[in-house]
Structure 1
């Protein structure tokens, strides 16, 4: 029993600390005890997509103690021993991108409350196309307080993305499969 008490907090810490290397439905009621956690952070009426977007756009959750990470299937939120696992929308994938010029970090599963990109609140132009050349995103955007900008894309596709800012342009590839990263930190603007 004591070993189990040690393993659970350590595994939870590894899952949500910083960036993890390597929707449309309601967020409420996805896991036992999740209602209290969601209510404490004002998320009880938010959809999964709204939870992701709200937590990714601000650093306020860091001060509150809430940690959250995104995978293909779920969003895991943790705070003070409570956990909520929310199911991602069936046909949507959340991809967070942090363009950079000087500093970056390794990332695989985007931590909504721990990842910090270099370029905060920076205007960017984004072009995302699938492998067939269909334009999925062609918009002006701005990186969030955490230096990332996020996009909801169809699941189970691959393609390319180009980000342009006053600092330069970066082009790379992405995929939205079950084993794909939800966090891209390799796009250096030159």
Structure 2
């Protein structure tokens, strides 16, 4: 029996003042609990805004923000969730392992896709229409330490992939080419 246990949310609220305080006031390696609780908002802001004065990348464990003076601030990601960003494509892609929130650019920007993700136990994790951002990526927070089957569809073309959310796994997926369904 399949059961729906978690669904990605398309709605994100960005609080600009909170982001300024997080970025401007953190010189330490380990963020406070309040900073960690706001990490998803911070990731979303970097991913969707195209900031030029900072660079931000995300590993399986940390968000790393580097300013123009080459000063890095690291934020720990939630212990139970894994960030992964997927750029479905038709013709153009790039190799990537660690997602650059401010630098990676996918081919299919601001387009609607049907996204379906199921874990190895048959639990549906995501089953919804999602829109790629201006950078061509679909950002997802998935439960950690699991394997998933991912299907992305758009207008009769489909991409399928297996991915996992373990400590050493990639946060950037640029290998899902949309092809005609057979």
Tell me the distance in 1 between the aligned counterparts of 2:79 and 2:37: 17
Contact residue 108 and residue 182 of structure 1 kept, 8 A: yes
Structure number with the higher helix fraction is 1
Match of 2:161 among 162, 172, 175: 172
Tell me the distance in 2 between the aligned counterparts of 1:167 and 1:189: 9
Q: Which residue of 1 aligns with 2:45?
A: 54
> What is the CA distance between 1:27 and its match in structure 2?
4.7
Please tell me whether residue 71 in structure 1 is matched to residue 67 in structure 2: no
Q: How many residues align?
A: 154
Please tell me whether residue 189 in structure 1 is matched to residue 174 in structure 2: no
Contact residue 69 and residue 77 of structure 1 kept, 8 A: yes
Tell me the distance in 1 between the aligned counterparts of 2:103 and 2:46: 10
Aligned-pair Cα RMSD in Å: 2.4
The answer for unaligned runs of 5 or more in structure 1 is: 1-25, 36-43
> What is the CA distance between 1:54 and its match in structure 2?
1.4
TM-score (norm 2): 0.78
Q: Which residue of 2 aligns with 1:120?
A: 109
Tell me the distance in 2 between the aligned counterparts of 1:90 and 1:30: 20
The answer for unaligned runs of 5 or more in structure 2 is: 1-20
SS of 1:133's partner is coil
Moved over 3 A (4+): 26-35
> What is the CA distance between 1:165 and its match in structure 2?
1.0
Residues 8-35 of structure 1: CA distance to partner in whole angstroms, max 9, x if unpaired? xxxxxxxxxxxxxxxxxx9566534999
SS of 1:50's partner is helix
Tell me the distance in 1 between the aligned counterparts of 2:29 and 2:160: 42
TM-score (norm 1): 0.75
**Distance change (3 Å), C-alpha of 1:85 and 1:140:** same
> What is the CA distance between 1:166 and its match in structure 2?
2.2
